[in-house]
Amino acid sequence: MNRRRSFSLVAFFVVALMFLSLSARADEGMWLFSDPPRQLLRQRYDFDPSDAWLDHLRLSAVRFDEASGSFVSGDGLVMTNHHVGLSSIYKISTPDRDLLITGFHARSLDEELKCPNCKLKVLISIEDVTERIRSAVASISDPAEAAERRSEEINSINRESKEKTGLHGDVVSLYYGGLYHLYRYKVHDDVRLVFSPAESVAAFGGDPDNFEYPRFALDVCFFRVYEDGRPAKTPHHLKWNSAGSKEGELVFMAGHPARTERLKTVRHLEFIRDATMPAVLDQRRRREVSLTAFSQRSVESSRRASMELRKCQNSRKARLGMLAGLQDPAVMKIKRAEEEALRRAAAERPELAAELETALEMMDQSLTAFAEIRDDYEMIGEGEAFQSILFSFARTLIGMAEEIAKPEAERSWGYRDSNLDSLKSRLLPDVLVYPDLEAVLLADSLSMYLERKGYDDPLVRAVLAGRSPPQRADELVRGSKLADPSFRCRLVEGGAEAIDACDDPMIQLARLVDDPAGDIRKIYERRVSEPQTRAYGMLAQVRFALFGESIYPDATHTLRLSFGQVKSYRLDGEPIPAWTTFAGLYRRAEDNRFAAPYSMPSIWVERKDRLEMDAPLNFVSTNDSIGGNSGSPVVNRNGELVGVVFDGNLPSLVWDFVFTQEEGRAVSVHAGAIIEALRKVYDADRLADELQRGSRK
Amino acid sequence: MNRRRSFSLVAFFVVALMFLSLSARADEGMWLFSDPPRQLLRQRYDFDPSDAWLDHLRLSAVRFDEASGSFVSGDGLVMTNHHVGLSSIYKISTPDRDLLITGFHARSLDEELKCPNCKLKVLISIEDVTERIRSAVASISDPAEAAERRSEEINSINRESKEKTGLHGDVVSLYYGGLYHLYRYKVHDDVRLVFSPAESVAAFGGDPDNFEYPRFALDVCFFRVYEDGRPAKTPHHLKWNSAGSKEGELVFMAGHPARTERLKTVRHLEFIRDATMPAVLDQRRRREVSLTAFSQRSVESSRRASMELRKCQNSRKARLGMLAGLQDPAVMKIKRAEEEALRRAAAERPELAAELETALEMMDQSLTAFAEIRDDYEMIGEGEAFQSILFSFARTLIGMAEEIAKPEAERSWGYRDSNLDSLKSRLLPDVLVYPDLEAVLLADSLSMYLERKGYDDPLVRAVLAGRSPPQRADELVRGSKLADPSFRCRLVEGGAEAIDACDDPMIQLARLVDDPAGDIRKIYERRVSEPQTRAYGMLAQVRFALFGESIYPDATHTLRLSFGQVKSYRLDGEPIPAWTTFAGLYRRAEDNRFAAPYSMPSIWVERKDRLEMDAPLNFVSTNDSIGGNSGSPVVNRNGELVGVVFDGNLPSLVWDFVFTQEEGRAVSVHAGAIIEALRKVYDADRLADELQRGSRK
């Protein structure tokens, strides 16, 4: 593995500068396990993790599809968040046995419930393949050709790895192409549900408590991986520590943060703050108001809108937090100082300085270009004007017919033979479409389109066809037969000819906007997204050339190590303690008369007296984390599990763009609370024993 | 009174043209009782109301502060909507006896509950005073001076009327100054509550059913006016007709429509459609989302936000309906045809044609000017950037201190001695201010200000003082002592000196924006509102010169007569029957498991079997009506009361700007349903007897 490069004097100067600014965010970083922040840990926490310590933590960490977990016994037991396990738990529920309401508790191995299509991965090894990939493209000057060649080489490496080791290979591009690492995973595909609380307890506080702290959620569930029908042996698993960590104690997280955008230039962040984020929020608010008003019509309407409404509220709340962060001058000051420091560092190496200025200039130009085409791109190119499942069916059907008519090599990526099955699987099953809800959402988005582009726009006129937005939405939804899967199926099979002959109004609408949408997307790619990709590649490589791996790469949904400390904070002048307790949980429920989202199963009410009221329930720490970290184990310097992270507070929402440690915190469930609940509420001593002993027997 | 003028040939041609367009909206009009649409009624309904018929209806109509009602017995019994009586019912409720929840039923005169400050008016006579006012200003050329002189003359007329007749005089400007009529009212100030159902029944369906149809609300309540401590004798009262009206039958409303804007030019309506209405809706949606999210925090938060949230939802829903109307090309086509017809009519009289073009040109210029200053005017001038009760206290305190320092004659109107008491009454009482709610709403509006004006605006920077919107809102709300009435009282008494010395952050903020706000308001008056007032005055006078009173004047919150018919319609292709029934009410409640807003008092559940399930409950008619008509009696051609109007459906919301009869409908409670409920649910036979007999005994 490539260790840190030697530093130039300049780089040293810059790093010194960065450290100055780091004083406010010293626990920053989603570090590679192949290159942990040893120096920082020594300086700040006098801690020097051994290779064995790191390997054990990495091999105990488990990757869920889009999130994280960890082995917590030698017999394949895996812990993650309830909200990470949610889709599996939902799938194995039945109308008679809704596990989201009842919770689940297997009292023996026999009762553990198999979860179809659930695959867990463990990162077995990391190999630097940068040189191999670079040499494969070294002689190619055309960027498009180079990109194609690079993809092929990556595919070969992944395939060879699988053949040679039997492990699943996955080449990861770090630092926007500064490094390429081959990650090899062991895949577990026999995964069974062991225990999950009711969702009311796991997501106690619902939307109002989402992204908030103090918090009172038992957001945890347990699975077990099997091999050959028996619990898998997992010697690398985390030792349970019910005592947890004290205020100020060093803690680590090992998980799979999905995506950060911390390289964003100041100009780009301003653009997000002033243009795109307000527009997205506007769209979310409109949708939320439409869904809320629709929900209130009847019990059935409320049921129909509930999943969409929940998604919408979550997204609105997350984005409001991000916007508030970007609107905080103190946050922007950090980003400006970073950019300035990078400029000063590059100044000493003219080729890097030139590269940097070119990259910044390209970014500025791309944003100017984006500002010009934004309305058309968002409304038509991205299809925001058409918030309708039926419209998206129509758009996919038309794209499919057009592309499939071409020879395979000329098709867009999404329509190659290898992707057709996944495309069809999105089109063909019996997706529930509620015409009343469709019409409400489409009417609102058509109105938004009209408001953004005005009545004089010829495409707006053609789309509305002489009707008002609600009238037009109604006529499109009522007139379309696309809700019928067999109708869609016939159109898929009939190809371009069937589409051309089709007089379904939604198909006709999608055909009307197909060309303008394609045109604006091409302009967007040429003038916005391609220049941005290249500019960020250049920026990342300038940073990498100056600082190497002393700077962690942006998150890539792969295993990272973050460090921090359990730490209280002040918010709006109020002190916020590092822990909440069971007493706090009951107080919050009682204050809200146990009404949803503050309800709890009756067993929690009946057994209240058994619980230690002052025992910690949730806690916060300064660990750098983001979506995808959900379910990551929190361990102390002995590598013992002290909690499991499940959320970040409101001030942490800006961590997409910049880490801020004054008020931002990750929120975890305390290891002791899990044992307390298992033993005293659920009589799940068997499971609690396994956790505390580290094995079934 | 001035009767219709003789028509020129041109006017005849134009009226013919208007009739063509009227075919789709033939029941249009909020007609003066002094000039009823006799010709239209004859043509369309073969009905010729006698003067006695009209006088009886006028003298049976009752004006509430901002709405309508009618006498329904010879003993002073008045019927109106529950939502019209709401504020009185709310005021006489106590924590122990919340009449909104329990409803109220006086079983004898003794039990009737006096409503403080409730005044009802009856229109006794109408006198044309146009000539007197015109001659008073005839020799004055300066417009400002003329306006002042006109106000003085109007005050004199009102005063003289009072002295001469003992009746309350109120000169009304019709056709934007085309006519002035003196309305003389008898005022009843001893008003007592007789009967009101629980709000759950009166406003059954809450926000989701608001402005909707089919509808199932018993939105009705009864008061009685007293004279000398005894029920007033009211010989003019409406005869009750429990049978109601059949489909297609002619019905009238006599009530007080508040304000229509049917003279708006096409360009102005487009401006509202494309600029101001979307902006207002955006602001309402933001507020609604903030309030909804706040509500969900806790039971107490929900209580704190509930009134504001209800107002916000009502306003959002009304405006969405108006916008949908304006976005309907068919609606705009009507307005374009009207404008074209007016142009053609004026073409034959050069002086009117010139006046018309000048007016239209002035309107266009005022809108161009408004587009330029809109952000500053709305955000700072109107104060939308500062959604905070504390801020509005601060702004009023500063304005008061500044103005009171001036000699009386130089003060703005609102700060003259005669208005100081009302100003103080808004500042001094113990208004409830919830800091958490204040901070949430202020943070959102500051963010909106930032989004609209951008970070480079110097005033934005000064307002935010280096903080993010939520941080700044928090610091302003927590730092301010203006929630304390005694603090406000000290500032009122201390005058300019106390304000200048005050270091309260909200006072300082209001001081910071005071000058810019004053400046932008002055620009707005000079470039937008004054030119518009003049232009609409000119337009109205051109119309009046051409058509005289053959065209009804825009609504002015004074008594009007509208006609129409009970009539089913089609919405989105579905037939909507003219009536709903008690069966429908129970079905809707049951479908929603009696959950709010579909709950009903237990007595309604217990006594369901007593009710005639097929009896009509609510019904719709084509009568032209608007806010302020609430509580208007609906009478048939015999002058018998067949219902009481309480709402309009969604398609009627555009009636602010243009009357459309295809789908737009007024919604009323059926007279028979009121008797049915009184007798069978409430055992209120005494009241029902009085209604059906027309007197107490």
d(CA A455, CA B331): 14
Over the stretch A337-374, which tens digit does the pLDDT of each residue have?
999 999 999 999 999 999 999 999 999 999 999 999 99
Identify the residue among B301, B319, B322, B572 best suited for mutation to test binding to A, counting A beta carbons within 10 A and taking the highest.
B572
- Of the candidates A327, A474, A591, the beta carbon closest to that of B450 is on A327
Q: Are strands A191-196 and A113-114 parallel, antiparallel or unpaired?
A: antiparallel
Question: What pLDDT shows up at residue A22?
Answer: 43
Write out the two tokens for A256. 């799979």
Test B592 with A298 for CB contact under 8 angstroms. Answer: yes
DSSP class of residue A129? -
- Of the candidates B207, B274, B296, the beta carbon closest to that of A208 is on B296
Mean pLDDT in chain A? Answer: 91
Instruction: Say how many C-beta atoms besides its own lie within 10 A of residue A3's C-beta.
Output: 8
For residue A595, the distance in angstroms to the closest alpha carbon of chain B comes to: 8
Q: B458: exposed, middle or buried (C-beta count within 10 Å: 0-12, 13-18, 19+)?
A: exposed
In this predicted structure, the answer to whether residue A9 has a pLDDT above a threshold of 60 is no
Over the stretch A209-220, which tens digit does the pLDDT of each residue have?
999 999 999 999
Test A324 with B572 for CB contact under 8 angstroms. Answer: no
Return all residues near A182 (Cβ < 8 A) that are at least 6 apart: A126, A127, A128, A129, A157, A158, A161, A169, A170, A171, A172
- Of the candidates B278, B451, B593, the beta carbon closest to that of A451 is on B278
Identify the residue among B269, B280, B289 best suited for mutation to test binding to A, counting A beta carbons within 10 A and taking the highest.
B289
More confident residue, A677 or A7: A677
Question: What pLDDT shows up at residue B618?
Answer: 98
- Of the candidates B327, B447, B474, the beta carbon closest to that of A450 is on B327
Question: What pLDDT shows up at residue B6?
Answer: 38
- The complex scores an ipTM of 0.83
Over the stretch A173-207, which tens digit does the pLDDT of each residue have?
998 888 899 999 999 999 999 999 999 999 999 98
Test B329 with A474 for CB contact under 8 angstroms. Answer: no
Q: At A388, is the secondary structure helix, strand, or coil?
A: coil
d(CA B211, CA B134): 42
Question: What pLDDT shows up at residue A418?
Answer: 67
CA-based nearest residue in chain B for residue A571? B471
More confident residue, B410 or A450: A450
Write out the two tokens for A599. 């309800």
CA-based nearest residue in chain A for residue B275? A451
DSSP class of residue B94? B
Chain A residues near residue B470 by CB distance under 8 angstroms:
324
- Of the candidates B298, B328, B595, the beta carbon closest to that of A471 is on B328
In this predicted structure, the answer to whether residue A619 has a pLDDT above a threshold of 50 is yes
Question: What pLDDT shows up at residue B362?
Answer: 94
Test A467 with B328 for CB contact under 8 angstroms. Answer: yes
Test B300 with A470 for CB contact under 8 angstroms. Answer: no
Inter-axis angle of helices B277-295 and B435-453, nearest 10:
150
Chain A residues near residue B328 by CB distance under 8 angstroms:
467-468, 471
Closest CA to B197 of B493, B504, B617: B617
For residue B468, the distance in angstroms to the closest alpha carbon of chain A comes to: 4
Q: At B694, is the secondary structure helix, strand, or coil?
A: coil
Q: B224: exposed, middle or buried (C-beta count within 10 Å: 0-12, 13-18, 19+)?
A: buried
Closest CA to A66 of A81, A78, A54, A77: A81
Peptide bond between residue B214 and the one before it cis (omega within 30 degrees of 0): yes
- Of the candidates B270, B298, B597, the beta carbon closest to that of A591 is on B298
Return all residues near A423 (Cβ < 8 A) that are at least 6 apart: A396, A400, A414, A415
The parts of chain B modelled with pLDDT lower than 50 are: 1-17, 19-25
**Size of chain A in residues:** 697
CA-based nearest residue in chain A for residue B310? A293
CA-based nearest residue in chain B for residue A295? B208
Contact criterion met (CB below 8 Å) for B613 and B66: no
Identify the residue among A284, A326, A447, A468 best suited for mutation to test binding to B, counting B beta carbons within 10 A and taking the highest.
A468
**What is the torsion angle, in degrees rounded to the nearest 10, for the CA atoms of residue A489, residue A493, residue A495 and residue A501?**
-60
Over the stretch B430-463, which tens digit does the pLDDT of each residue have?
677 899 999 999 999 999 999 999 999 999 999 9
Chain A residues near residue B447 by CB distance under 8 angstroms:
323-324, 327
Chain A residues near residue B591 by CB distance under 8 angstroms:
298-300
For residue A610, the distance in angstroms to the closest alpha carbon of chain B comes to: 27
Question: What pLDDT shows up at residue A494?
Answer: 87
3-state SS record for B135-196 = HHHCCCCCHHHHHHHHHHHHHHHHHHHHHHHCCEEEEEEEHHHCEEEEEEEEEECCEEEEEE
CA-based nearest residue in chain B for residue A460? B327
Chain B residues near residue A328 by CB distance under 8 angstroms:
467-468, 471
Q: Where are the alpha helices (DSSP H) in A23-111?
A: 38-45, 51-60, 82-91, 99-102
For residue A453, the distance in angstroms to the closest alpha carbon of chain B comes to: 9
DSSP class of residue B549? G
Test B293 with A455 for CB contact under 8 angstroms. Answer: no
In this predicted structure, the answer to whether residue A3 has a pLDDT above a threshold of 50 is no
Chain A residues near residue B273 by CB distance under 8 angstroms:
455
Write out the two tokens for A668. 């975890």
CA-based nearest residue in chain A for residue B287? A285
Report how many Cβ contacts below 8 Å link chain A to chain B: 105
Test B474 with A313 for CB contact under 8 angstroms. Answer: no
d(CA A327, CA B471): 10
Identify the residue among A207, A276, A289 best suited for mutation to test binding to B, counting B beta carbons within 10 A and taking the highest.
A289
